């Protein structure tokens, strides 16, 4: 193995879950783990077994990963308890994850104030816990909490903690700047001093962004000899977040001679992975994010734009395509065409760019995107749009009208009654059809009414399940009058998953558009024939 190999360890599913406002479910965790694996991340920290039902469910049925090692996070044993009798420690080592990362103290002040034990007891805790875990799993990482503060306060004690972990069988010691207070030059210096005693290919860096330096400190730590970087997608994490792997990876791959498992081909997915995470979290991607932001390669008219037209190197530090992003020149409307063509190829529509249909397709996509549609993460709607323009999507049904009534009132016994009722009128197979259904909320009622009338005609719809439903407001500042984008994820019993999108000023109308696409996509994919008239 080259001494330039740097391992990437992702904490999105654990540290990232600590972010204010972030609440992953199991499906989110599985989807993110798969994307991390596909990107070439070496370690995926899945969560903390025993800490909450979501993490237990995730580790109970862990996603199959191709390259990445699923890692469980946990704590070293409690003071005054043996490793055998510590339920938390036992939970940590008892999942399908063959790699575990265990946190312990290395700052004398913390040992004294937070744990209220002696330094030597702390060292015993580390040694016992690591040894216990090393017997039960393939690989143990020791997460040295507050290492930098600890090293500054008492370097001998902090190093003794690391040595205890190494002696007990840890594969890696993770130098954590837990409160994020270190400046980059201190991180570089201290990592350099640590790797004089512990080989760098056993030393990991774990930074938080409380001074806005987590990315730089991680890169400098690697220059100082560390060979593993821990961080999260989009810098997710509590307070100011963890080191942002989405910024670190392209700098490492494109601008240094360090080696990672992120090949140039895998790097092409970077922008997609970053946006997928935000979609899952139902939040707007940061436009100005390094490398992957929508504005990262945007050139506002004038001098810059024309210089970029002459030679992109004039104002671009890398080719945006290398990270799956693209140049955005505000003055010219020509940008994006090649990107849209690339997306057509991705869904199997290999059209000659000279074909006049291409212009119509590109125009249609641009028009929809202008209205607020986003096809990043709604591939099924994108496919339907493209195939619709090419004329090969049958007209399974046509909506005539719908009406949804929502009520909230109290009945004679003082009980709260909420009612949602949807009426749908549509035409299929030459017939006018109408149905009414109640539901648990207006979208559920609408979905029920649509299925009630369509399933007898199109039996494949029996096997259509709505898996997720997300709403995003696009023009905040206008409160409840804003434009609404609804994303629906559907699945069937064959394990197929597809996502559709609908946009409207009205949340119900936007939901209908996404529901309709979900139904039509299922029928189209199954090759259903249109209903006989």
Question: Among all chains, which residue has been given the structure tokens 């291409």?
Answer: 358
Q: 447-476: which residues touch a copy of itself (CB under 8 A)?
A: 447, 465-476
Q: 205-224: which residues touch a copy of itself (CB under 8 A)?
A: 209-213, 215-217, 219-220, 223
Q: Which is nearer to a copy of itself, 121 or 138 (CB)?
A: 121
Rule CB under 8 A: choose which of 96, 342, 390, 405 binds a copy of itself.
405
Q: Which is nearer to a copy of itself, 69 or 327 (CB)?
A: 327
Read off the DSSP letter of residue 480. Answer: G
Smallest Cα–Cα separation from 207: which of 247, 169, 263, 171? 247
CA–CA gap between residue 30 and residue 467 (Å, rounded): 14
Strand, helix or coil for residue 410: strand
Rule CB under 8 A: choose which of 184, 200, 225, 502 binds a copy of itself.
184
The footprint of a copy of itself on this chain (CB under 8 A) covers a number of residues equal to 125
Is position 178 an interface residue for a copy of itself (rule: CB under 8 A)? Answer: yes
Shortest distance (Å) from residue 485 CB to a copy of itself: 9
Q: What are the phi and psi torsion angles at 495 (to 5°)?
A: 80, 10
CA–CA gap between residue 74 and residue 94 (Å, rounded): 11
Q: Which is nearer to a copy of itself, 104 or 250 (CB)?
A: 250
CA–CA gap between residue 71 and residue 472 (Å, rounded): 32
For 2, 91, 375, the CA distances from 386, given in Å and listed in that order, are 46, 49, 11
Q: 258-297: which residues touch a copy of itself (CB under 8 A)?
A: 282, 284, 287-291, 293, 295-297
CA–CA gap between residue 175 and residue 230 (Å, rounded): 10
Is position 404 an interface residue for a copy of itself (rule: CB under 8 A)? Answer: yes
Is position 85 an interface residue for a copy of itself (rule: CB under 8 A)? Answer: no
Q: 104-143: which residues touch a copy of itself (CB under 8 A)?
A: 109-110, 113-114
Shortest distance (Å) from residue 105 CB to a copy of itself: 11
Smallest Cα–Cα separation from 279: which of 55, 499, 10? 499
Is position 239 an interface residue for a copy of itself (rule: CB under 8 A)? Answer: yes
Q: 330-389: which residues touch a copy of itself (CB under 8 A)?
A: 330, 333-334, 374, 376-377
Shortest distance (Å) from residue 222 CB to a copy of itself: 10
Q: Which is nearer to a copy of itself, 334 or 527 (CB)?
A: 334
Binding mask 43-62 for a copy of itself (x = CB under 8 A): ---------x----------
Note the residue count of the chain: 533
Q: Which is nearer to a copy of itself, 251 or 339 (CB)?
A: 251
Is position 80 an interface residue for a copy of itself (rule: CB under 8 A)? Answer: no
Q: What share of the chain is helix, strand, coil (3-state, %, to 5)?
A: 40, 20, 35
* Contact present, 404 and 508 (Cβ < 8 Å): yes
Is position 300 an interface residue for a copy of itself (rule: CB under 8 A)? Answer: yes
Rule CB under 8 A: choose which of 354, 392, 408, 533 binds a copy of itself.
408
Residue 449 β-bridge partners: none
Rule CB under 8 A: choose which of 339, 435, 444, 455 binds a copy of itself.
444
Segment interacting with a copy of itself, rule: CB under 8 A, options 88-96, 125-133, 164-172, 406-414: 406-414
Strand, helix or coil for residue 116: coil
Residue 138, classified by CB atoms within 10 Å of its CB into exposed (0-12), middle (13-18) or buried (19+), is exposed
* Contact present, 380 and 521 (Cβ < 8 Å): yes
Q: 302-331: which residues touch a copy of itself (CB under 8 A)?
A: 304, 307, 310-311, 313-318, 330
Rule CB under 8 A: choose which of 79, 88, 119, 179 binds a copy of itself.
179
Is position 87 an interface residue for a copy of itself (rule: CB under 8 A)? Answer: no
Q: 3-state SS string over 317-360? A: CCCHHHHCCCCEECCCCCCCHHHHHHHHHHCCCCCCCCCHHHHH
């Amino acid at each position: 193995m080259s001494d330039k190999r740097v391992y990437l360890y992702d904490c999105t599913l654990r540290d990232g879950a600590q972010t204010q406002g972030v609440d992953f479910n199991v499906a989110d965790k599985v989807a993110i783990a798969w994307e991390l694996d596909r990107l070439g991340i070496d370690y995926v920290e899945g969560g903390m077994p025993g800490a909450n039902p979501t993490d237990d469910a995730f580790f109970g049925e862990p996603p199959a990963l191709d390259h990445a090692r699923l890692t469980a996070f946990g704590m070293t044993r409690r003071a005054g308890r043996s490793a055998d009798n510590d339920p938390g420690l036992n939970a940590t080592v008892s999942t399908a994850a063959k790699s575990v990362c265990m946190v312990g103290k290395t700052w004398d002040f913390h040992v004294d104030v937070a744990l209220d034990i002696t330094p030597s007891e702390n060292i015993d805790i580390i040694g016992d816990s690591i040894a216990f875990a090393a017997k039960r799993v393939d690989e143990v990482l020791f997460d040295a909490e507050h290492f930098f503060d600890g090293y500054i306060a008492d370097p001998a004690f902090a190093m003794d903690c690391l040595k205890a972990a190494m002696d007990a069988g840890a594969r890696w010691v993770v130098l954590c700047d837990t409160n994020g207070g270190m400046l980059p030059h201190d991180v570089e210096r201290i990592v350099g001093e640590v790797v004089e005693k512990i080989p760098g290919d056993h030393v990991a860096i774990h930074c938080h962004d409380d001074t806005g330096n987590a990315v730089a400190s991680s890169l400098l730590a690697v220059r100082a000899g560390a060979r593993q970087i821990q961080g999260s997608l989009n810098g997710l994490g509590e307070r100011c977040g963890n080191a942002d792997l989405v910024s670190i990876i392209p700098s490492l791959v494109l601008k240094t001679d360090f080696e990672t498992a992120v090949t140039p081909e895998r790097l092409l997915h970077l922008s997609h992975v970053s946006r997928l995470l935000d979609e899952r979290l139902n939040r707007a991607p940061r436009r100005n994010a390094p490398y992957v932001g929508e504005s990262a390669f945007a050139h506002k008219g004038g001098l810059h734009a024309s210089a970029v037209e002459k030679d992109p190197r004039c104002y671009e530090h890398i080719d945006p395509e290398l990270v799956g992003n693209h140049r955005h020149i505000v003055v010219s409307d020509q940008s994006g065409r090649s990107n849209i063509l690339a997306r057509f190829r991705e869904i199997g529509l290999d059209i000659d760019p000279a074909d006049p249909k291409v212009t119509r397709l590109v125009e249609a996509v641009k028009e929809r995107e202008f209205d607020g549609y986003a096809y990043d993460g709604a591939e099924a709607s994108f496919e339907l749009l493209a195939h619709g323009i090419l004329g090969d999507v049958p007209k399974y049904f046509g909506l005539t009208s719908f009406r949804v009534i929502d009520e909230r009132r109290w009945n004679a016994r003082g009980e709260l009654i909420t009612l949602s009722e949807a009426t749908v009128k549509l035409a299929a197979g030459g017939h006018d059809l109408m149905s009414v259904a109640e539901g648990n909320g207006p979208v559920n009622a609408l979905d029920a009414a649509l299925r009630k009338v369509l399933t007898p005609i199109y039996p494949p719809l029996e096997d259509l399940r709505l898996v997720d439903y997300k709403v995003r407001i696009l023009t905040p500042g206008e409160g409840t009058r804003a434009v609404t984008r609804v994303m629906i994820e559907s699945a069937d019993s064959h394990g197929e998953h597809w996502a559709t999108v609908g946009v409207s000023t009205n949340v119900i109308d936007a939901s209908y558009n996404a529901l309709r696409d979900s139904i039509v996509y299922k029928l189209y994919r199954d090759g259903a024939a249109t209903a006989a008239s």
